[in-house]
Structure 1
Amino acid sequence: MRLLFLLWGCLVLPGYGTLVGPKEISGFAGESVTLQCTYGDELKKYPKYWCKDVGVFVSRCSTTVYAGEDGRESSKDRVSILDSRRDRTLTVTLRELTPTDTGKYLCGISKLGFDKTFQVSLHVFSGAYRLATQLSSTSREDTSLVPSSSSSRPRVSIPLVRILAPVLVLLTLLLFTGLAVIGRCMFQWKKEAQLAEDTLEKEKVHLSHVVRNEVAEVHAGVGTWACLPPWSAHIRACFPCLENL
């Protein structure tokens, strides 16, 4: 029963066995990448291949490249594959990478029934990503070359609140001083306006009394010729009838 279970596992489970390799590889557009998949002695005599996995739920190969059985390197398009049975390694080289090469691939060994496969993920980065990476690494190197002042003397950290406290106190004092000056000026202006209004009222009352007195004197006959200036004598001479007034 145990033997049957092991046999079923070897036949049904793809990738089961001693075929291993890198799970992920990456490269830049226009360059090449090389990887190796290793296998056990029991798989030496079987044909090896490399293909792109286009399956969704089940692995399915596209653009398959088989290794030469005589130990020579075989190539197809931009892919080269070499099976070294002595080292038990399958070496795959992908040249002139493009962003469309990003995806999942399979190192495979053809066997009767189900093939043994190992899935490898390839990531191809553009030149812009490479430039950004180089600039980032260069800036880190430049920063490491600049001597740090903190290494020569201890750095004292002053809290921001302590720095801003005097400024805030000064601004508060200036604000209160300004409000006090404005309030005092308004009070003084109001007081002067009230005083001017009272003075004007008193002058009006005084003027009304004066006018009233003058009117009373006129009606009482106080305004006689004796109160007239000297030149009034000529008028009396010319108009004698006015003497009776």
Structure 2
Amino acid sequence: MIERDLFPRAARYVYMRTDSAVDLTNFNQLHPEEKGLVSRAVDRRKAEFGDARWCAHEALAELGYGSSEAILRGEGGMPLWPDGVSGSLTHTEGFRAAVVAPVDHLVSVGIDCEPAGPLPEGVVDQIARSQERQQIDTMRSNGIEWADRLIFCAKEATYKCWFPLSRRWLGFDGAEIEVHPDGTFTSYILARPAPVPFFEGRWKERAGFIVTSAFVTAEHAARFIH
């Protein structure tokens, strides 16, 4: 199980595990406008999309929203949530998830999932800053062989949290991740201007997957966003 304490208590988080078979059950139950977003995609992509949207609708239902409204795409491909809701989606082979929250608790939130294994050779130099590479070396010396993937996953969650706030691209060098051994991390935003100077983050590794969250609470945002 991937624990719900990846997020503040106001958030609602739904995930599902999948096998290697392509299952279009959830896709086929989507709103026609949602299905239209990936109508030309291969079946595997449709299955991922449908499963992640199913998680999102289930999470929204836990907040009291009906499941009949389509979750469409906005600028930069971000999901368009109901008014008053922040949220994020993720999917990888074998795992899909969604998180939603009232914006008066979480102004923005991002989630990402990756397999708990090292990145392909050469990728870490493209995504990690020098201090992050030092962290990776330290974590690997402590037995965390997938430390580089953790940094990558945290940066992906950071971007998903960043874009709804800024409507701007954020490259891998636009944030610096500081991982803490208690299952949290801080994502320092280096790009300018920035709505807030850092995001809070949490991470878990369970059952062969790394899941990360990055978020800005309303309390944190109030200190910087006016």
TM-score (norm 1): 0.21
* Structure with the largest fraction of helix: 1
Greater C-alpha Rg: 1
* Structure with the largest fraction of strand: 2
Which of the pair has the greater relative contact order for Cα pairs under 8 Å at 6+ separation? Answer: 2
